[in-house]
Amino acid sequence: MSLSVSRARTIARILTESLPYIRKFAGNTVVVKYGGNAMVDEALKQSFATDVVLMKLVGIHPVIVHGGGPQIGKLLEQLNIESHFVDGLRVTDSRTMDVVEMVLGGQVNKEIVSLLNRNHGKAVGISGKDGNLIRARRLKARAGAIDSELVDLGQVGEIVSIDTQVLEMMKASDFIPVIAPVGTDEDGVSYNINADSVAGSIAGVLGAEKLILLTNVAGVQDEAGNVLTGLDVRQVEELAGTGILKGGMLPKVECALDALRSGVQSAHIIDGRVEHALLLEIFTDEGVGTLITG
């Protein structure tokens, strides 16, 4: 079946438009935080997988970090383990941590690896515990006000250091790393770590070209709900100061800023509800979200 002239022209335009980006980013690392609708909708899962495999085929080195909060919550509910949250962070006792590791390191991680491999990728699943990738420590949060008492969240962690040896080995062997955000401290205690933070920290340590955070919104928005497609660090800091950035967007923006300060060239907060969002953001002029540069 032959293509119509208009469709052929559209395909040719897209391919031509992508060439400068392929040439520019080939050989560089792109860290992607995978979560939200893109992780549960079948069509979006498929488009994500083909995007990542294509990135690898054209010489870009994708590193995937995934979340799994809804899946953890579902299994905890099935096991009749009650969840408690402090400022959006799940209090994690040892029993809950067992479930976290089972879901993140087992179920979710292996599903993503299988998805990429079925689409002709060469993906390998690891957690931050493998190769001492992520060294962590216990995180304590304040319940509400800045001057309130610190609350012990249990086995919720923050990153102390990252050892990239295992990731460099995979890169040299042409594998795609898929990372579950779990780390350990010096005593071998496991910690559940925010996936955005893990993605941003790994991007910084690897000197990544891009950090891409897939979200369930169109990007950073102004007071009128308009998507701000291009911002620099100063503009983002001003937005944060005005209180426009709220809820789940604020920690994502802070993660992006931390990555930029660590040497990442650009951070992208994009709409994971759009099919082929990764390719559209990386290889086209328009993109599908907010680009933040230093």
DSSP state of 164: -
- Per-residue model confidence (pLDDT) at position 3: 62
Neighbours of 158 (CB within 10 A): 16
User: What are the residues whose beta carbons fall under 8 Å from the beta carbon of 114, sequence distance 6 or more?
Assistant: none
| 80-108 per-position pLDDT tens digit | 999 888 877 888 999 999 999 999 999 99
C-beta of residue 212 within 8 angstroms of C-beta of residue 164? no
| 240-294 per-position pLDDT tens digit | 777 777 777 888 898 999 999 999 999 999 999 999 999 999 998 877 899 999 8
What one-character-per-residue DSSP string does 224-242 give? Answer: TS-B--EEEHHHHHHHHHH
> What is the C-alpha separation between 208 and 88, in angstroms, rounded?
28
> What is the C-alpha separation between 150 and 161, in angstroms, rounded?
23
Tokens of 62: 């994708």
> What is the C-alpha separation between 199 and 206, in angstroms, rounded?
11
- In degrees and rounded to multiples of 5, residue 182 shows phi and psi of -125, 135
C-beta of residue 165 within 8 angstroms of C-beta of residue 184? no
CA 195 to chain centre: 6
What percent of the chain is modeled with pLDDT above 70? 96
Among 264, 49, 283, CA closest to 176: 49
What domains lie within the chain, and their CATH numbers? Answer: 29-75+101-130+163-183+191-293 (3.40.1160.10)
| 140-198 per-position pLDDT tens digit | 776 655 556 778 899 999 999 999 999 999 998 999 999 999 999 999 999 999 999 99
C-beta of residue 66 within 8 angstroms of C-beta of residue 35? yes
